[in-house]
Structure formats: C-alpha cells, structure tokens
Structure 1
Amino acid sequence: MATATKLKISSAAQAKRYFQDKMAFTTGPVELERWAKQGQPVNIVDVRAAEDYAEGRIPGAVNLPKDQWQDSKMLKARLRKDKINVVYCYSHVCHLAATAAVEFASKGYPVMELEGGWRWWKNDGFEIEK
C-alpha cells in the first residue's frame, strides 16, 4: 500500500512573509541580464572556484571564492557597498552563494542571490564571458 506524504499547511500570512523576503533577496537570470544591460547598480559576484570562473562566467562578474572571504582587502576590492552584490555559485542545489550572501551581508554589503546559479545561466543560453 502506498503512503501519501502529509502536507504541512502554513498560514497565508506566513507564506506571504516568506515570498516577500524571497523576492527581496533573490533574482533570476532574465532580471539580472536586464539590470546589467540597463546599467542598473549591480555588482555580479561569482563565488565558484577560480578555475571554474576562468572557464566561463557571467559577463562582468568578479570572482570571490570562499577561501578569500576573510581577506578584508579582497572583499573591499571585489564587493561594493554602493551597489547590490548579486552572488552566484554552481547551481540551484549549491548553497555556496547563500552562504556568501550571509557572510557579505554580515559585513555590511547589500546582497542578492541569483537563483539557479551558473547552471541556469549557461543552460538558458545567456551570454558567457571567458
């Protein structure tokens, strides 16, 4: 006999808060591409390993791998306080970008996370820089 998964029902108010927060701190590839082309105040930050960044990245992205997050000079050189730092990692199942967002926000940098990361950007056919 098959068992059904019991769904947890949350309040509508709780769901509203969750999705408002999600929309405030995440963006998708289409929106990011539009912002970049329009010259909006975004700084694209690739938190993947340097070797992966070298193989291909979102145009204009700076590289800030995890082993450099505690280097205050590197943070000041790569992150911006006058722009939204949109961070991305490998894919939608990688938590490296979310970890970076927490780290950078705790140091006073405005951040958003790119949903889907590099994989969605590349697979959806957006421009790639090498």
Structure 2
Amino acid sequence: MKEILPKDVEQKLNDGLVLNIIDVRETEEVAEGKIPGAVNIPLGLIEFCKQDLDRSKEYVLVCRSGGRSGRAAEYLEGQGYRVVNMTGGMLAWEGKME
C-alpha cells in the first residue's frame, strides 16, 4: 500500500494540485473539521460506495490517525482502485481545515 505524509498532501494542495481525498471518519468526526475538498465516506460505507469512484483516478484516504484509512486503502486496492493512505491522519494534519 502506498503512503503519503500529511505535510506532503498539504504541499500538493498548496501547489494547486487537485487531489481526490476521501475522509473515512464518521460524520460527527468530520463535522469538527476536514481537509478542504475532502469527501466523507465513512469506513463502513466504502464497500457500498466504491462503484461511485473512478478507477482511473488516484484517491488519498484519510482518517483520525491512519488506521481506518489504511484498512480502506487495503480494501480498495484489492478491488483494483489506485489509493494512497495518509499516515498519521488528521492528528498529524497541520494544514487548513473546513
């Protein structure tokens, strides 16, 4: 599984790159703040929402600490999707939030 550091995600966003970020935390966790532009798909719904994802795009998966997003990344990778897990999760995020 590919991994990316939060500071590298932040740098890519600051450089103007468009990233496809999926936040797999629960809705109430995301309500406290998320990376700008991230889409919330709770881990428990990934299996049911995967058909809405574009297999030609790469997705950055995010959660609180990196564990749930790691599980989501392993699952989606096994289903043929291109994914990267953001290590450290939102606990390590120092960038802007919405």
TM-score by length of 1: 0.67
The total of aligned residue pairs comes to 98
Distance, in Å, in 2 between the alignment partners of 1:105 and 1:89 is 17
Deviations 1:89-113 (A, max 9, x none): 1115xx2111000111112110111
Deviations 1:25-71 (A, max 9, x none): 11112211122233435311101001111221011101111221221
- Structure 2 gaps of 5+ residues are none
Structure with bigger helix share is: 1
Higher relative contact order (CA 8 A, sep 6+): 2
**Structure with the greater alpha carbon radius of gyration:** 1
Distance, in Å, in 2 between the alignment partners of 1:108 and 1:37 is 29
The match for 2:51 is: 76
Say which SS state the counterpart of residue 70 (structure 1) adopts.
helix
Say what the alpha-carbon RMSD is for the aligned residues: 1.8
- Structure 1 gaps of 5+ residues are 1-20
Question: After TM superposition, which residue ranges in structure 1, 4 or more long, deviate above 3 angstroms?
Answer: 37-41
The CA deviation at 1:76 is: 3.3
TM-score by length of 2: 0.86
